[in-house]
Amino acid sequence: MAPRWKGKAAEAKALAEPMSKIVSRLQSSLIESNSQGLLSGCTVLLAADPEQTELFNHACFGRPVITSEKDKQWFQLSLEEALYLCSVMKCIKIVGENTCVKDEEQLWHYMASKRAGFPILFKAYSHLRMKNWVVRAGSQYGVDFVAYRHHPALVHSEYAVLVLSDEDGDRSARLRVWSDFHCTLRLCGSVAKTLLVLHVSKNGNGAIPPSSLDHYRVEERIVTRWNPEQSRENQTIVQKELCKSGT
């Protein structure tokens, strides 16, 4: 399935402003302002100045929180987004109660305790973000994430992403029976997304701490239905065209 841009202008705009540039501008700006996020439940709250607000919006991190405060805009980040900005982009600090900065190990344990399967979800999130894909929550489509080629205002999401792991008992319950596949593929088809399954597994090396992304590896597979009726028609068309061009 080809990317579905929301018009020609949108594609040109995306081309002119690559996502990697937007994210690295956000990164510099957050480092410069020494930004701190407040860990609260399954959310990290972070205040942004007007420039950062625009960058957060363009890079698609977090959701704006509507407040009456004039001088700053609050954003609420998901656990994956916050940890990504903190431990991969190294551009924010995260504090808990008592405004005490939490180190990565503490954050990792906290988040893993808050959300089932967090380590592999975070690996999957980082994996796609590091390739400059925009990753948003997938609950609207019954999946873990949706992945966009650029800002959702410019392009429809291409992939509905499910994250699977061989080891983790809870997570591996996904796509275990055929009806799960039928259900997911039927839904993905109706919203014109391709099902992308990310298999996250542990690397053999025991020396790497579990909180390190290097501890895991990701395999990407797309799952599609094949329709023999349609493929046969396509085949006929292709052959006819070959015949035509041959004569």
Partner 1 sequence: MEAEADALESLSFGEGTHGCDSDSECCVEDSVDDELFYASGDIIPKLQFRKEASKVRWIEELGMAEVLEKKGKMWTTTGIVRDGKTYCSIEETLYLGEVGALDILNGDDTPFLLSDIYGKLAEDKNRHGCSWESFEVYRHLKFLGYIVGRCGVPWSMKSVKMKMDAREGMEEFDSSRGRGSMDNSFITEMFGNLHFGETRPVFDVYPPNSKFRKSCPGAPSFVLCLTSGHPPSRQEIEDLETRCGGSPLKFCIVEHGRVSFLSFTKVELPILA
- Give me the active site residues, please: 148, 156, 193
Toward partner 1, which CB reaches closer, 101 or 238? 238
Identify the residue among 51, 131, 139, 142 touching partner 1 (CB under 8 A).
131
Cα–Cα distance measured from residue 43 to residue 62, given in angstroms and rounded to the nearest whole number? 10
DSSP per-residue letters across 132-169:
T-EEEE-GGGTSSEEEESS-TTTB---EEEEEEESS-T
Q: In what order do the strands lie in the sheet with 145-148?
A: 134-137, 145-148, 159-165, 194-202
Smallest gap from residue 166 Cβ to partner 1 (A) = 7
Least Å distance, CB 72 to partner 1, is: 31
Amino acid letter, 96:
G
Q: Which two tokens stand for residue 87?
A: 């431990």
Among 210, 219, 237, 241, binds partner 1 (CB under 8 A): 219
Binding of residue 140 to partner 1 (CB under 8 A)? no
Which residue in 235, 229, 216, 105 sits closest to 168, CA to CA? 216
Residues 178-197 that bind partner 1 (CB under 8 A): 178, 180-182, 185-186, 189-190, 192, 196-197
Residues that bind partner 1 (CB under 8 A): 15, 18-20, 128, 131-133, 147, 149-150, 159, 164, 166, 175-178, 180-182, 185-186, 189-190, 192, 196-197, 199, 219-229, 231-232, 235-236, 239
